[in-house]
Amino acid sequence: MLVDDAVALVPSIPGRRALLGLVGAPAAGKSTLARRLVAGVNERLGADTAAYVPMDGFHLSNAQLDRLGLRDRKGAPETFDVDGYVQLLRRLRSERERPVYAPDFDRRLDEPVAAGLVVPAGTGLVVTEGNYLADDGPGWGHVRDLLDELWYVDAPRRLRERRLLRRHVRGGRTESEARAFITASERPNALRVERGRAHCTRIVVPGQPDENGTWEV
């Protein structure tokens, strides 16, 4: 089971924290899997043994995207603060004496939220996830260097795009606007993500996926 493998990553050496990365195309089910892994590890080893820190907290704000002319490319690699994300990963690996605060992403606001998450000092495993953890673009290669393992989360394109359509409509787009955004942005981003599969240590495929994502962990 996947939880067994996540538990095995929890280090026994004092002062060391392990980082597990999950990468995959938009709406592949990365966040669902990450949360279930964290819950499973904590159930086995005790509360706060594992924590969840998504890459999405490093989305550039909508104001910055407007300034850069990238609002219609939101979700592409250049619309994230990769350097900030790398610095957080470095701190998570080395800082065990004090809590580490991390940004979160609010889908209702469609904006990052500063210090929305906290990793307690005693946490031994951080599960992080995002689209570009295996990317070769500027800055992204440093992410792989900081991860103990990197799992590629695979899911059929048709299922992913149904989830994306529902997500964007719930976020305020009309159905036609959502479909246009998926075609213009989400689909090219997914193709770019898929090119990073070779950098991953494992391919994870959900069993019998449904609209909400079903994981046997």
Sign of the torsion angle spanned by Cα atoms 132, 138, 143, 144: positive
pLDDT value at position 136? 94
pLDDT value at position 85? 98
Task: Please report, in angstroms and rounded to a whole number, the separation of the first and last CA atoms in the chain.
Answer: 5
pLDDT value at position 12? 74
Whole-angstrom Cα distance, residue 139 to residue 116? 24
Helices 2-9 & 30-45 angle (0-180, nearest 10): 70
CA distances in angstroms from 32 to 27, 36, 115, 187, listed in the order given: 10, 6, 21, 20
- Who's near 124: CB < 8 A, 6+ residues apart? 10, 11, 16, 17, 18, 45, 49, 50
Sign of the torsion angle spanned by Cα atoms 107, 113, 119, 120: negative
Name the DSSP letter for residue 57: G
Give tens-digit pLDDT for 24-40.
999 999 999 999 999 99
- Tokens of residue 155, six digits: 């899911």
Q: Does domain 2-204 sit in CATH 3.90.1300.10?
A: no
pLDDT value at position 217? 58
Contact present, 131 and 26 (Cβ < 8 Å): yes
pLDDT value at position 16? 83
Give tens-digit pLDDT for 145-183.
999 999 999 999 999 999 999 988 998 899 999 999 899
- Tokens of residue 145, six digits: 């260097």
Domain boundaries in the chain? 2-204
What is the b/e burial string over 2-21, where b = at least 16 CB atoms within 10 angstroms of the residue's CB? bbeebbebbeeeeeebbbbb
Residues of the chain with pLDDT under 50: 208-215
Whole-angstrom Cα distance, residue 92 to residue 212? 30
pLDDT value at position 171? 85
Reported pTM: 0.91
- Tokens of residue 178, six digits: 């959502």
